[in-house]
Structure 1
Amino acid sequence: MNSRELCTYVGVIGGAIAGLFGGWDTALQTLVIFMAVDYITGLIVAGVFHTSPKTKTGTLESRAGWKGLCRKGVSLLVVLVACRLDAIIGSSFIRDATVIAFVCNETISIIENAGLMGVPVPKVLVEAVDVLKRSRDQKDFL
């Protein structure tokens, strides 16, 4: 198989997957980027700063990393389910609301990771995250 065929196969498969998620739009791109940033900052917190609340020692642990990836994968599956529900009723509301909720959750985690690294976080972001946390804690998530 040459590189042109490989690119074609990857493009077809990637397009099919993106289609299942309602298209590769700004919302889905943002969610995937935020998930990647959260995972990377989590690795830095554990691997460099040794301040991770996810492990007893605060350091990297493969099981904690695997759990994080599994959670992100299941989050994407929930988005897929929301997209299919929208397909049934002919809207995009459920998918969009689901993606926004997960983006908010990832944002909270990114800001928390930055704080664990000692990064000075602008007050307006801390206040916004507090609002998101309160909303999440009021049972917006199961």
Structure 2
Amino acid sequence: MDALKAFILTVIGVIGGFVTTLFGGWDMALQTLIIFMGVDYTSGLAVAGIFKKSPKSENGALESKAGWKGIFRKGMALLIVLVAAQLDKVAGTDFIRNAVIIAYIANEAVSITENAGLMGVPIPKPILKAIDILKQKSEEDSGNDK
């Protein structure tokens, strides 16, 4: 049994290492994005399941279709990060991936604060300022200055 467990853990480790390499490495930016995605999804479930205030369903309650859409949207965002990481490798930079991740982190942060607002949780000003800074950085990195 121990040999089987070691084999399974090794296979998982090799696959995880390969996937992480494709994403440009497991750095703080990717880790932050994954954490924010998890917090956003969980807070969205709470808004719908507990508070019944989700704008994504007619009655504001949990709806499996809305949940699946959310999962697939986050999956697509991660695939775009993967594409950006590969573009960086071809271009010999690390700019594209980081700009894409920062943009998605800003988007997730906005969504998290919206969910908190729907729950009646006040958002501290330093977090709102940090989100504004992320939005500005994302716009600067993408060349969409307003």
The amino acid that maps onto 2:37 is: M
Which of 79, 87, 90 is equivalent to 1:88? Answer: 90
Task: Report what 1:116 is aligned to.
Answer: 118
Q: TM-score, normalised by structure 2?
A: 0.86
Distance in 2 of aligned mates of 1:61 and 1:130: 31
Distance in 2 of aligned mates of 1:29 and 1:126: 21
Distance in 2 of aligned mates of 1:129 and 1:28: 17
- Tell me the C-alpha RMSD between the 2 structures: 2.0
Structure 1 residues 35 and 95: alpha-carbon distance in aligned structure 2, compared to 1, 3 A threshold: same
Shift of 1:126: 3.7
Q: Which runs of 5 or more residues in structure 2 are unaligned? A: none
Residue-by-residue CA offset, 1:70-104 (whole Å, 9 max, x unaligned): 00000001001101110111010000000000000
Following TM superposition, where does structure 1 have runs of at least 4 consecutive aligned residues deviating by more than 2 angstroms?
Answer: 123-133
Task: Report what 1:98 is aligned to.
Answer: 100
Distance in 2 of aligned mates of 1:66 and 1:39: 11
Task: Report what 1:72 is aligned to.
Answer: 74
Task: Report what 1:62 is aligned to.
Answer: 64
Distance in 1 of aligned mates of 2:28 and 2:131: 22
Distance in 1 of aligned mates of 2:56 and 2:12: 35
Q: Would you say how many aligned residue pairs link Structure 1 and Structure 2?
A: 137
The amino acid that maps onto 1:116 is: L
The amino acid that maps onto 2:72 is: C
Distance in 1 of aligned mates of 2:30 and 2:75: 13
Q: TM-score, normalised by structure 1?
A: 0.89
Q: Is the 8 A contact 1:111 1:129 kept in 2?
A: no
The amino acid that maps onto 2:111 is: S
Q: Secondary structure at the match of 2:50?
A: helix
Shift of 1:127: 5.3
The amino acid that maps onto 2:64 is: S
Distance in 1 of aligned mates of 2:62 and 2:21: 35
Q: Which runs of 5 or more residues in structure 1 are unaligned? A: none
Shift of 1:123: 3.2
Distance in 2 of aligned mates of 1:100 and 1:122: 21
Shift of 1:129: 4.5
Distance in 2 of aligned mates of 1:129 and 1:77: 23
